[in-house]
Amino acid sequence: MRKIAMLTSGGDAPGMNACIRAIVLTSLRYGIEVFGYRHGYNGLLEQEYLGLRAKSVANIIQRGGTILHSARCLTFKSDDSAKIAAKNLDALGIEALLVIGGDGSFRGAKHLSNHWSGQVIGLPGTIDNDIYGTDATIGYYTAIETALESIDKVRDTADAFERIFLIEVMGRHAGFIGLNAAIASAADQVMVPELSRSCEDELENIINHIEAVKKRRGNASYIVVITENLWPDGVTKLAEVLTQKTKVECRPVILGHVQRGGSPVSQDRVLATKLGAFAVESALKGESGVMVSEVNQQLKCQPLELSWQQQKELDPYLVKIQQDLFDFIKRP
């Protein structure tokens, strides 16, 4: 193998730069030229790339974001776009393309493989951790830490004013950040897609729990962690309803894109480095149409389709702990 290319696609995640660094240094170690396409699949269509050397990735392991930049590319879903990408890759002499991103990025990689004879390998990079077939995704640990730091700071204000705070975290259709941040911050309640009920039931549940807490310890702070897009009218509307029904001031805090940024924590740097190096070694072994992953400290290659065809489940024991503590507080 003489030439490898890579791109980062979809939402950025802390640790992507660490992964880029590992791919570059591992490739150079094996005497492989390595190229980076800028702006995700858009760069692949526009043949926007740069050659990467050791100095290109110096001092980037601690940086958030991605030096290749990222973007979403809806036009890449067409067959014509995939054929253009294949032609561009062949023109540059690329033998393997490594794609760092989430399930949408992997679908794009699979689509490309239908029109290109080169090797395609995915590396799971998303803060949501919603990729089946790997214990964790690049950026996930940092997102939890960012959410936790924010919740801890909000707790100080909540305690000072004895308010209810609704903390909205990212997670799209997955509650991994929400559940883990709630456990780590000792939140009073968590609302995630996997455990959600009807709006009426959820509202009644929150109100009953707040009343139980007030009976136990009087007026006090109350923290609810909720994943984005879970409440139909938004977390701001939910805060208004809770204020009206409980007579306790309730404030929403939407963490938003701050969870995507910042210096990656050690777990993300290590995971990104392992997966980046393993992806290059897998390419050298002829692997294609796969995602590299880590399961129980074992590096593996999984079919790309598996990443979106099966739903990744929350840790059942963490769910049990949260529910047990929630039920304990409600006791008279």
> Of 112, 91, 115, which Cα lies nearest the Cα of 41?
112
- Cβ partners under 8 Å of residue 119, min gap 6: 95, 96, 97, 283, 286, 287, 288
H/E element, 324: helix 316-330
Beta bridge partners of 52: 34
- Residue 227 token pair: 């994943």
Q: Catalytic: which of 128, 130, 188, 268?
A: 128
Residue type, 283: A
Task: Examine the residue annotation and report whether 79 is marked as an active-site residue of this protein.
Answer: no
DSSP secondary structure string, 85-127? HHHHHHHHT--EEEEEE-HHHHHHHHHHHTT--SEEEEEEB-T
For residues 231 and 192, the answer to whether their CB atoms sit within 8 Å is no
Rounded CA separation 307/12 (Å):
18
- Residue 113 token pair: 């493989």
> Of 170, 281, 279, which Cα lies nearest the Cα of 227?
170
- Residue 312 token pair: 């990744």
Count of beta carbons in the 10 Å neighbourhood of residue 243: 15
Rounded CA separation 262/100 (Å):
18
Residue type, 10: G
Positions annotated as catalytic residues are 128
